[in-house]
Structure 1
Amino acid sequence: MSTLQLTHLGGPTTLMEIDGWRILTDPTFDPPGRRYTFGWGTSSRKIAGPARPAEVVAPVDVVLLSHDQHADNLDDIGRRVLELAGTVITTVPAARRLGLPNTRGLADWETTTLQAPGRAPLTVTATPGRHGPRFSRPITGKVNGFALHRDGEEAAALWMSGDTVLYDGLREIARRIPVDVALVHLGGVRFGFTGPVRFTMTARDGVEFIRWLQPRVVVPVHYEGWTHFRDPETAARQILSNSDVGDRLRWLIPGEPTGV
């Protein structure tokens, strides 16, 4: 098996290089400083820019887009990156909204195969996610994670969670898909008027989920760079690293390619 190389670019955005494929997750390349609205009275300010600019990273073969409706997962420059990508794989509603000819929308547990001359094929499976408390989907919208499988291998070479809380859908993923490397979105997102309600996993949720999933390596992402992340990075690192799953953690240095 060849080495999977990851480059964390900031927020959820990570470049994956595997078997000759260049695959980007949730492209966010806008500079810091701007406040973005997320609907229903929510907003957040971006406080950190990308570790590498889009023109250095793009074009890529594939973009795995967990959802299109929030700028911390797809911003203005990120939308231009989509247009340059070979293939964009996302949710069914996002594919309809984007309307790009290179886009494939997948429902939960639906698969598609990536093929290109001179490269081993990769199968992509969409996995469920819930971007908030029960019954929040009409407000927060549809979100998917994605698993990448090499031909003939039962375990996913990589799985990205997308923005999700800890709920039974993640337990189903742990039952159905063995995972080698997990890219897990954290941050404990919440907003002032929503009180204690969370819209992504906290570090403590992440520990519990890693116990369910049991991947070889866990790479935390999407825990810094925005004001709506309410799980402080230093505390999250301590909670995760000092837990019984701490030996599985790999904290990437933004912009630095790392084999996992």
Structure 2
Amino acid sequence: MKDVRITHIGGPTTLIEVHGWRLLTDPTFDAPGRRYAFGWGTSSRKLTGPAIAAADLGAIDAVLLTHDHHADNLDDAGRALLAEVGTVVTTTSGARRLGRGRGLTAWATTLLEAPGRPPIEITATPCRHGPPLSRPITGDVIGFALRWDGQDHGALWISGDTVLYDGVREVAGRVEVDLAVLHLGGVRFPITGPLHYTMTATDAVELCRSVRPRTVVPVHYEGWQHFHEGRALIEPAFAAAPDVRVRWLPLGIGTDLAE
């Protein structure tokens, strides 16, 4: 994907720079060490801090927030940063809780526009943040498909926190994907045993074989106690699937995603 630079800041947090736009995903900027409750007896400790401090980011045009109610996707420092950003795109329930933002349901669309820059169309994609019937507990989550003029091979897609299920598989039939930013980590909690709340590496490979992105960027796999699949476990799964091209981004360093 030409003319796109992505900086992986940590966990799910990335800075996406394209044609003058500076978009931030799932802002998490708290220091490490604290334990956060996620509800229903689940909790996790943050193990590492952000590779770039919020104060050093510079101006942000919009925040793409997959969900607001879990601290590994929006923590206290991230919430403070939202006050400095003009546009927040998130779930409809998240927009109500935040008291601001453009709330989207799956397959709804909004448009980012600004003088001197190409418009970016943002389409919400489905997520299920846990096993079947877990949505009332885990809450609403969305991913984002970003389209703008000049994309030669399809959209930039951010999966959001999701397991592999029929809803996320719909992306294969509805979006041509060039670059996929996948939230991985195989999230589990002791209280619910083997149940997963995000994709495992095996799930991600299966999904990629149907969505067929040209490039995959893994995120949401390090920095938290409840992430059970780090790079050491994810990398062999993708290595066994040579048809999937993976780019591992160094933390804190902008990487140009050239074709």
**233-242 vs 111-120, which deviates more?**
233-242
User: Matches of 2:56 and 2:28 in 1, distance apart?
Assistant: 13
Distance 1:170 1:240, change over 3 A: same
Quote how far apart the aligned CAs of 1:154 are: 8.4
User: Matches of 1:152 and 1:238 in 2, distance apart?
Assistant: 34
Contact conserved, 2:35 with 2:46, CA < 8 A, in 1?
Answer: yes
Who is 2:194 aligned against?
196
SS of residue in 2 equivalent to 1:74 = coil
Contact conserved, 2:124 with 2:143, CA < 8 A, in 1?
Answer: yes
Question: Cα deviations across residues 109-137 of structure 1 (Å, max 9, x unaligned)?
Answer: 11011100111111000011000011100
Question: Cα deviations across residues 202-241 of structure 1 (Å, max 9, x unaligned)?
Answer: 0111111111110111000000100001124311122223
Picking from 169, 173, 190, the partner of 1:175 is 173
Contact conserved, 1:179 with 1:213, CA < 8 A, in 2?
Answer: yes
SS of residue in 2 equivalent to 1:131 = coil
1:51-130 correspondence runs (5 A): 51-100=51-100, 103-130=101-128
Distance 1:227 1:245, change over 3 A: farther
User: Matches of 2:50 and 2:235 in 1, distance apart?
Assistant: 20
Distance 1:67 1:156, change over 3 A: farther
Contact conserved, 2:155 with 2:176, CA < 8 A, in 1?
Answer: no
User: Matches of 1:35 and 1:233 in 2, distance apart?
Assistant: 23
User: Is 1:163 paired with 2:167?
Assistant: no
User: Is 1:26 paired with 2:26?
Assistant: yes
Distance 1:232 1:19, change over 3 A: closer
User: Matches of 1:120 and 1:177 in 2, distance apart?
Assistant: 20
Who is 1:206 aligned against?
204
Who is 1:225 aligned against?
223
User: Matches of 1:231 and 1:242 in 2, distance apart?
Assistant: 16
Who is 2:246 aligned against?
249
Q: What code does the residue aligned with 1:177 have?
A: V
SS of residue in 2 equivalent to 1:218 = strand
Quote how far apart the aligned CAs of 1:152 are: 7.2
Quote how far apart the aligned CAs of 1:245 are: 3.4
Quote how far apart the aligned CAs of 1:80 are: 1.1
SS of residue in 2 equivalent to 1:79 = helix
**152-161 vs 207-216, which deviates more?**
152-161
Distance 1:126 1:19, change over 3 A: same
User: Matches of 2:15 and 2:230 in 1, distance apart?
Assistant: 24
Q: What code does the residue aligned with 2:253 have?
A: E
Question: Cα deviations across residues 163-220 of structure 1 (Å, max 9, x unaligned)?
Answer: 0000011111111000111100000001001011000000111111111110111000
Equivalent pairs, count: 257
User: Matches of 1:241 and 1:68 in 2, distance apart?
Assistant: 33
User: Matches of 2:120 and 2:164 in 1, distance apart?
Assistant: 27
* Identical-pair percentage: 60
Contact conserved, 2:155 with 2:175, CA < 8 A, in 1?
Answer: no
What is the TM-score normalised by the length of structure 1? Answer: 0.95
Runs of at least 5 residues in structure 2 that lack an aligned partner in the other structure: none
Distance 1:227 1:20, change over 3 A: same
User: Is 1:258 paired with 2:255?
Assistant: yes
Quote how far apart the aligned CAs of 1:59 are: 2.9
SS of residue in 2 equivalent to 1:240 = helix
What is the TM-score normalised by the length of structure 2? Answer: 0.96
